[in-house]
Amino acid sequence: MKSLILQTYKTTIFFLLVNAVAFSLDFDMKRELARLALLDTFPDNPGFYNVQGIDYYKKKLKNATSPSEKYFNHFDLAYQYLCSGYIDSALAQYEKVPSQMWDNAFRSSPEEFDKYMYLALCHLRKGEQQNCQENHNQFSCILPLVEDAYHIDNIGSLKAIEYYKKSLERYPKNYKAKWLLNIAYMTIGKYPDSVPTQHYINFKKFPQYEDLSYFTNLGSELGVDTYTFYGGSITEDFNNDGFQDIFTTSTDLETNVSYYISDGLGGYVDNTLDAGLKGITGGSHCLQADFNNDGFIDIYIVRGGWLKKKAGEKHPNSLLKNNGDGTFSDVTHQTGLLAYYASHTACWADFNNDGWLDLFVGNENGASQLFENKNGFFMDVSKSTRLYIEDLVKGSFWGDYNKDGLQDLFVSVSGGKNYLMMNKGKNVDGVYTFSNTSRFAGVTEPINSFPCFFFDFNNDTFLDLFVSSYPMSIPLLSEQYFHSIRNTEYSSLYINNGDGTFQDFAKKANLNRSIESMGLNFGDIDNDGWLDFYVGTGFPSLDAIIPNILFRNKDGRSFQEVMNAGFGHLQKGHGISFSDLDNDGDQDVYHSVGGFVKMDAFWNILLENPGNVNNWVTLQFEGVKSNRSAIGTEVTIYSDGMEGKRKMFRVVGTGGSYGSSSLQQEVGLGANNIITSIEVYWPASKKMQRFFDIKPNNFYHIQENHNKIKLVKRKKLVLGNYNKRPQKNSHKHH
């Protein structure tokens, strides 16, 4: 006992000393980000294609001593030009590579080193640049391409078609060429009639669901279509006015974050400058929580993912404190969170149930970190808690999978077995510790994985687990559309057995496919009471022109793959956020759209939910002894009606990788119109609340220490100018 008291005393003294020092030091995040943006990081990251790479390979070409070195530099320089958007220069460099070298490379790898494929890609991207990037509209690049999305200047696509045909004459099994050939024909309105029979993809074979109406992209109309590289997104009510706001990032340090607040009339106002966010740049991922329990939602920004060690260490993450007056302040250093790693994921949870949200940060170039929140100041306790992971971490998610009232952590890694870190609670010294139970639980795979999340797939109140595969193969992904799939790793849907173990249900659930997912999040898109998920296919390669996909949950038994209804966007997909932006009871989707390089930058989209006939309820939670955000709080909704007795289980949180959905729980009831009861469990206080006589299709507020549920009036909005909204087949590119 004495040793424990002494240890606690030492920890307290250390905390106070560190806290005092941190607050006394002068650190300006905006100044630091501006300095870092000027650094030449390309030599440290030859795989990170940007404008700096052009000068780098020009110098290498100038200093090349052998013909082989010279010609390889031509090849590398060409791709730098292409990634930077200088397509004519890229074509010129590809033509300087001798035919003999092309032929030798083709014989060794016909899927990857065909001259015609590179020339075709240049022209296909040039067509996209001229028509979709420079003159985009709300239907640009969304499968199936409608007339509004056809290219007016079709020269680029026509040349691409010519080269893809030549490539397929040499290598008929090139599924990547087949796929892109079909896309090229679509862009000029010549699909399906002009597609050669032997290369034709019949998209009518893919499910088209008449009961799911078209989700219209209102990003441009509402002025929230930020032009970015890949990044994160948040939908949340940051100013507590009853309307959902939007926050989004771009991974490059030259691009400022964007903060849009609802005007309460159906539009949005760019409040970035007024919020004091000018100079806050970068961010591959962002997520929100009330870290200091003051009633205002704060923001954490993750930076440095994909960068190699030296450059990645130059990119610190950020904690933005919501000041409650419409502004934010960077408090990273003051709160003990300043660190220089290449981070790719982070997630909030109160792992020790002390009422303060803790933070896990997954790093790529060093040990990941678990920060314990001590009254608003953070201390790295990853070693003392045995949550010390040195693998290349890509995804992470908290969840109480074994129902012991403690938050456990799942961590996905690239090139190794994944981690399920079970929270064991306090040891004999009073320290919370974790143990890797992934092998016992049966959740070690896929070996190459990326986003992951806990959710209740079948509404049995046990958390299931989805882990997305990341095979890094465009030919393989293309093959799937021709129903010719080689052996590969698939994504895993692990169903919770209720005894600490899981079984992979992916095949039975129609998920035995490769996705190449980066962005991933879940929500109930049709209010049927079953959680769906939306995949952003963000593979960095420029020939990865793969549609983002909605997977629709069918009664907790399987998923339907949906590429229509506005979800099949061909641009890279990353931050995805589900939220009821117009207070009409159904979830809209904000999506950060953009890739790894300049040529892949694009405009973000906002997909408005057209509505459905199902009922719903929206619940906002306020912790008292538990964390104010109520993250980790469990809610079970019991309903009755046309579908008989049902229950829906949800856990308060922000969702999956890159995107962060609203903390309010937006729960569909299906056709049931009676809520018989709502049960709320608060892990920190171990308090169970039960509420009765709740009317559906309303908003409610639930406080931890209050035994009555509060009806909240919310103004329903009409997003944008509905009467002047362009219809599906009325506008072309200009």
**Mean pLDDT, consecutive 10-residue segments, the chain of 734 residues?**
43 44 68 84 60 84 87 89 93 91 85 89 94 85 87 95 95 89 94 93 67 91 93 97 97 93 96 98 96 98 78 83 98 96 93 98 89 97 95 94 98 94 96 98 93 97 94 70 69 96 96 82 97 90 88 95 87 94 98 90 95 97 98 98 98 91 98 98 96 96 96 95 45 29
Taking only the tens place, the pLDDT of each residue in 204-217 is 766 555 678 899 99
**pLDDT confidence of residue 49:** 59
pTM of the complete model: 0.93
The whole-angstrom separation of Cα 278 and Cα 259 is 10
CA distances from residue 256 to 37, 133, 226, 326, 341 in whole angstroms, order as listed: 11, 20, 10, 18, 20
Q: What is the pLDDT at residue 660?
A: 96
Residue the block writes with tokens 């997305």: 468
Residue 324 — left, alpha, or beta (φ > 0 → left; ψ -120 to 50 → alpha)?
Answer: left
- Cis amide bond preceding 144, omega within 30: yes
φ and ψ at residue 566, rounded to 5 degrees: 95, 0
Between the alpha carbon of residue 203 and those of residues 145, 212, 215, 548, the distances in Å are 11, 17, 19, 15
- Which H or E element spans position 602? strand 602-603
- Cα separation, 17 vs 35, in Å, equals 29
Q: How many CB atoms lie within 10 A of CB 644?
A: 9
Which residues are registered as beta bridge partners of 576?
Answer: 591
CA gap 175, 635 in Å, rounded: 46
578, 661 Cβ separation under 8 angstroms: yes
CB 521 within 8 A of CB 578: yes
pLDDT of residue 40: 56
| Spatial contact of 320 and 233, defined as CB atoms under 8 Å apart | no
Question: C-alpha angle with apex 46: 44 to 51, nearest 5 degrees?
Answer: 100
Chain centroid to CA 345: how far?
10
Upstream peptide bond of 547 is cis (omega within 30 degrees of 0): no
Say if strands 699-703 and 615-622 run parallel, antiparallel, or are unpaired.
Answer: parallel
Residues in the chain: 734
Pairing of the two strands 532-536 and 343-349: unpaired
- Beta-ladder partners of 621: 702
